[in-house]
Chain A
Amino acid sequence: MKNKSLIIFLVAVGLVWLQGCGEEDYPVPPASTVPKFSVSIDNNEFAPATVSFTNESIVPERAGNVTYLWNFGDGTSSQETSPVHLYETPGVYEVKLVVLTESSLEMNESTHSIVIKDPNASGIPLFFTNGSTVFTALINDQPPVVISTAITSLQSSYGMVVDTANDLLYVADLSGKKILVSNLDGSGLRDFRVDIGDVSTVAIDYEDNMLYWDTADGIRRANLDDDDVSQYEDFVTGQSNDPEGVAIDPVNRTLYWNNYEGGVWMKNLDGTNEKSIAGGDGGGSVLVIGDRLYFDEYIQAGDIHIKSANLDGTGVSTIVTGVSRLMYGLVYDEEGDKIYWVDRNNNRIMRANPDGSAVEPWVTGMSMRGLAIGKKK
């Protein structure tokens, strides 16, 4: 009996030993300060722009007195809680908020990059999309400044084309099975054609004012002047390799397309002479530059090539190697004499001379598709 109570006592002491220091060994982490802010830019984000920063930092009571330190990325700073700052010069600015706490001794920071657009910027606009939002950046002698257009909620887009005659942007939405049209800033977005198949890419024939697009098994076209959202006609049918990447040769009145499962094809715009002109294991784009045809070709995973050929598919040469993924977006800037393409899995847009020399990244940090080139502004 005595032993029994002793054992109970022992167990109790053991429990104290196990538990007694537990609180110190496993402290509940106290709530920490989280710096956070939102940004609002006036003047449509063009310089000069007044930017309002709204401080949304989370500051627990234990933090004590708080100091907010802002750096506006232009050499100036502020200690206001929610400052307003004027940016007179266009550019990309890294804005940082540092939160210092007196009692909890924290020093935490948050950074936003803001773009103040240049109202006088000139260059060739390039458009591209991450699938849902359409972005644009100017090609000029400055580093590209990527800005978002007003188009931000596509279902899944792989292709766009600029109607340079009417300053309109036609956007294919694969999952939406439709083509939309908007102004070049993305405003005025509306359906151009609906329920038209699995459309990846689009191309314009200015002579007949027709828009061409690919589907899962053919090519369709619609009259640009026709407002009827259901008007179109089949131009190519019965393609088994999933056509992609349509392009027009306006001089020779020819349509070219690539195929996801392989093969580059052509057909005269008058409907004659449909034929396969080059082989390969698949691609997403074609491009006509003068008397040369450019297309991408799958070699192996992570190694897609850009090839160049005569307009009849002969004389194939390899221009660029090592592109990470089939490309939806291969365009030519005539003024700068550069080809641009998307390198999606490497999160960049690349460019090079048309002969494949001087390959360089142009925009980095973005996985893009659907390149479309506009006219100089």
Chain B
Amino acid sequence: MKSQLIRYFVFVLVGLVIISCDDDAVAPPDVVSSFTASKTTVEIGEVIQFTNTSQNATAFKWSFGDGTTSKELSPKKTYASSGQFVVTLLATGAGGSTMMSMEITVLPDPEIFFVEAGTSLIRSFGIKSTDKVNTFLDISGFAGVGLAYDAENEKVYFSDFEVTGDGKIWRVNLDGTDLEEIISGLYDPYQIALDLVNKKIYWAEDWDPDDISRIGRANLDGSNLEYVVSMDGAQFRAIDLDVANNKMYFYDVWYEDLYVANLDGSDATPIVSGVYGYAVAVDHKNGKIYFDDQNSGSLLRADLDGDNIETIDDNGTRIYGMAIDFEKGKLYWSGRDSGAISQANLDGSHKVDIKTGLSSPRGIFLKK
């Protein structure tokens, strides 16, 4: 009886050993790391909301791929620079740890390039990271005010009125290489404009010794130079093109007229009179033209026939450069006297000086 009891006890004990080890082998539920993002392609500074959908986890660590981290359940994140970033969520629970990753694209920051006459440099900055101003090109000795960009071929064009009677137009690759003089022997060329459909460059040229002012054009390599408008006594300062409608708009400061003409120079007609300034920009999508008027110290816009003139800004600065971001509906312009580069909606609302303290900024373009 006694030994039977012992046998029974042994049986129970051995069973206990087996069961107790089996208990440990019963695994806790698998941890699944998982999350969603409100957007996976964003601009600099745009908020992404991450939503944690992990299972069986109690602790979380996020790495956003730019060296920043979070321990929140579902964090928000903004990126300060462009690039590809891998976001990783490390989820930990009783069942261990797992990771899930997702790639986020932060779009390049559009850049404003501008001629800074006070330093004889062409410089640039990102519109969302304006603290850092880069120097693109030193144009000491061949400086001007006109600046234009061929995005497809990544070529920058600029005018040079350093030597009256031997004004030039230059072009250079966006990476700073292959600086070349494409046109020389001009009287002071001012604003320039590109027709990338017909592969032409246009410029507004100051009067020559015979007091003739001209609108010139040439192929993008400077060949086939021709004058499409010549006007006695005028002083042309600005030009922009509406290639889709075969029109150009140019600006005379002597008689104070803003003109429209066909791209071949025919049918030149004033659309606004009694105004003068140094920059024009055509918004062919919305049928508007922007121009600065130094009589009123204003940046104005009008319909393409000159009607419905509205004031966009009135801080009195001379303006030599304007650029339109058609996708975002934004206008950018430089203030020679204000030292600022400003941004506003196309109707002039929400005006912001995105960069101040510049030394006489002139021609600008927007590189997206």
Contacts and interface: CB of A to CB of B under 8 A. Distances in A.
Given A98-B69, A107-B61, A76 B17 contact: no
A75 B129 contact: yes
B67 A17 contact: no
A306 interface: no
Contacts of A6: 3, 6, 10
B68 interface: yes
A78 B81 CA distance: 11
In this complex, the member of B9, B61, B129 whose beta carbon has the largest number of chain A beta carbons within 10 angstroms is B61
Contacts of A89: 131-132
B97 interface: yes
A377 interface: no
Contacts of B99: 100, 105, 107
B179 interface: no
Contacts of A206: none
Contacts of B131: 89
Interface in B81-97: 81, 83, 85-86, 88, 90, 96-97
Contact of B20 (A17, A96, A105, A107): A17
B81 to A, nearest CB: 5
A340 interface: no
A88 B6 CA distance: 84
B98 to A, nearest CB: 7
A100 B24 CA distance: 30
A76 B69 CA distance: 14
Interface in B45-97: 61, 63, 65-69, 80-81, 83, 85-86, 88, 90, 96-97
A298 interface: no
B90 A107 contact: yes
B88 A10 contact: no
Interface string B1-36: 001001001100110110011001000000000000
Nearest to B10: A10
Given A2-B3, A76-B80, A89-B131, A71 B67 contact: yes
A367 B138 CA distance: 50
A71 B68 contact: yes
A77 interface: yes
A9 B97 contact: no
A16 B81 CA distance: 60
Interface string B131-142: 110000000000
A70 B68 CA distance: 8
Interface in A91-146: 96-98, 100, 105-107, 109
A13 B24 contact: no
Given A9-B10, A100-B63, A105-B90, A16 B3 contact: no
Given A10-B10, A88-B132, A100-B88, A107 B69 contact: yes
A69 interface: yes
Contacts of A208: none
B67 A96 contact: yes
A109 B24 contact: no
B218 to A, nearest CB: 39
Contacts of B63: 69, 98, 100, 107
A75 B21 CA distance: 53
B81 A76 contact: yes
Given A20-B17, A105-B98, A70 B67 contact: yes
B68 A96 contact: yes
A13 B21 contact: no
Contacts of B9: 10
A10 B67 contact: no
B3 A3 contact: yes
Nearest to B23: A21
B43 to A, nearest CB: 14
A69 B66 contact: yes
Contacts of B20: 17, 20-21
Contacts of B132: 88-89
Contacts of A9: 10
Nearest to A99: B63
Contact of A75 (B14, B61, B65, B81): B81
A109 B69 contact: yes
Contacts of A106: 90
B69 A77 contact: no
A9 B81 CA distance: 71
B96 to A, nearest CB: 8
Contacts of A14: 13
Contacts of B80: 75-76
A207 interface: no
A105 B99 CA distance: 7
A24 interface: yes
A25 B25 CA distance: 11
A39 to B, nearest CB: 14
Nearest to A73: B67
A78 B83 CA distance: 10
Contacts of B14: 13
Given A16-B17, A24-B24, A107-B88, A71 B98 contact: no
B21 A21 contact: yes
Interface in A51-91: 67, 69-72, 75-78, 88-89
A197 to B, nearest CB: 52
25 contacts: A3-B3, A6-B3, A6-B6, A6-B10, A10-B6, A10-B10, A13-B13, A17-B13, A17-B20, A21-B24, A67-B86, A70-B67, A71-B66, A75-B80, A77-B81, A77-B85, A88-B132, A89-B131, A96-B67, A97-B67, A98-B67, A98-B69, A105-B99, A107-B88, A109-B69
Given A69-B63, A105-B90, 10 more contacts: A10-B10, A69-B66, A71-B68, A75-B81, A78-B67, A98-B68, A100-B63, A100-B99, A107-B61, A107-B99
The 8 closest A-B pairs by CB, nearest first: A71-B67, A75-B80, A77-B66, A105-B97, A17-B17, A69-B67, A107-B61, A107-B90
